[in-house]
Amino acid sequence: MTEEIMTTELKYSGRVAQIGIYFRKFLRMFVYQSDWKVLPIGAIIAALITLVVGKNMFVTMEGTTYGTFALSCACIWNGVFNSIQVVCRERDIVKREHRSGLHISSYVTAHMLYQLLLCFMQTLVTLLICAIVGVHFPEIGIITPLGIVDLGITLLIITYAADMLGLMVSSLVRSTTTAMTIVPFLLIFQLIFSGNFFTLGKADFVKNFTISHWGMDSMCIIGQYNSLPMTTLWKTMVKFQDITVEDEQPLHDVVQYMRENDMVDSFKVWSGAQSGNPVYDSTVANVWLCWGALLVMIVIFAIVSVVALQLIDRDKR
């Protein structure tokens, strides 16, 4: 009897086979668990953002700064919410399945593939909304021939990195309540510490650990930020043109002169060139640096997820 039943020598489904099993399971859940809802939600978020800041994105330096920051935040929002509950809501099930033969690496990889698909669809939706709203996409790409493709890849990587961050948190915590409590802190961290809007002083190095920083940088690089006109200086000059200095209005004279000689646009381009940032130089190396940083984050988040779930057997009631 013992010999007949004990099956220690038998081989069971390997890691690759299990990835397939779980990937298909998650695909079914896309339909049954209404995961598809992330697409219209993503579309609404993209629409709201691009309606407000999309007009001047990739048109002026200021518009690009605001627009890319908002778009980057939207991607982070989408990504984090895609995955923040996916593991912790079924933690007990995963523990039982792990005890009966599930490979954690397969489970996490299946999630990664499924989430990649989800992020890809969200990116397409976001690009579509941007196009509908009339966002001026960069025409020439840096890595690929088309700017829109480079931008799409960037949006995908940002969303995916945030998604993996959510997956990592979901793997670390034991309940959906805890996961959802952590989300605001994650998002605030990404917003505040991106280093592009707020001065961080001695904590400036922290920006290197944020998805928003690298995401925004890569979008600015792809959007030819350093070649874009800057409007702030011109607007300031116009605003203060009536200032009188020793019975003269020098600013007014300059503004008038530039208007009469059709020099306003070239002035904006000139002022943009003066305040350019070498980090935003549109070079292949700069894009790869940003993408590379995000890819490294993705890998780290995935590894932490696997390691955290490997310890799932220690979970107590």
Partner 1 sequence: MLMQWGYIGAALFDVVVLSLALFILSKKLNWEARWKAWVPGARMYSWGESLKVYRDGTVCGVLDMMYVLEMVVRIMIPDKEYVTVLALLQLILFVFVFIYRVRLFLELLKLFGRGRKWILLYLIRDWLPILILGVSNKYQPRHETIKEEHWQAGMKLLPKEDELCNAVPLINEGLSIQIRERAVREFGKKRYLLDDIALNIPERSLVLLLGGSGAGKTTMINAVIGYEKADATILLNGVDIYNDYESVKHDIGFVPQQNLIRGKDTVMRTVDDAARIRLPKGMSKEEKRKKISEIMELLGLSSGKAGLVAKKSGGQLRRICIATELITDPVLFILDEPDSGLDGAISREIFTKLRQIADEGRIVIVITHTPDRVIDLFDKVIVLARDSGRVGRLAFYGSPQEAREFFERDTMEEIVRSVNGKEEGGEGHADEMIEKYTKLVVSGHADEMIEEPMKQVVSGKGGENA
Write out the two tokens for 73: 């935040």
Q: Which is nearer to partner 1, 86 or 156 (CB)?
A: 86
Amino acid (1-letter code) at residue 272:
G
Do 272 and 265 meet the contact criterion of CB atoms below 8 Å apart?
A: no
Q: Which is nearer to partner 1, 92 or 265 (CB)?
A: 92
Residue 311 is classified by DSSP as G
Q: Does 25 bind partner 1 (CB under 8 A)?
A: yes
Contacts with partner 1: how many residues (CB under 8 A)? Answer: 34
Q: Which of 36, 44, 51, 92 binds partner 1 (CB under 8 A)?
A: 92
CA distance 313 to 317: 11
Minimum gap (Å) between residue 216 Cβ and partner 1: 23
> Which window, 3-11, 64-72, 113-121, 293-301, contacts partner 1 (CB under 8 A)?
3-11
Do 222 and 67 meet the contact criterion of CB atoms below 8 Å apart?
A: no
Q: Which of 45, 57, 86, 102 binds partner 1 (CB under 8 A)?
A: 102
Write out the two tokens for 188: 């605030």
Do 168 and 124 meet the contact criterion of CB atoms below 8 Å apart?
A: no
Write out the two tokens for 66: 């605001």
H runs (alpha helix) in 134-146:
none
Q: Does 184 bind partner 1 (CB under 8 A)?
A: no
Q: Which of 36, 44, 52, 96 binds partner 1 (CB under 8 A)?
A: 96
Q: Does 99 bind partner 1 (CB under 8 A)?
A: yes
Sketch the per residue contact string, 48 through 77, with partner 1: x for CB under 8 A, - otherwise. ------------------------------
Q: Which is nearer to partner 1, 108 or 151 (CB)?
A: 108
H runs (alpha helix) in 60-194:
61-83, 91-99, 104-133, 147-172, 176-192
Q: Does 202 bind partner 1 (CB under 8 A)?
A: yes
CA distance 94 to 90: 6
Minimum gap (Å) between residue 64 Cβ and partner 1: 29
What SS3 class is residue 140?
strand
Q: Which residues bind partner 1 (CB under 8 A)?
A: 1-2, 4-8, 10-14, 17-18, 21, 25, 28-29, 32-33, 90, 92-93, 96-97, 99-102, 201-203, 316-317
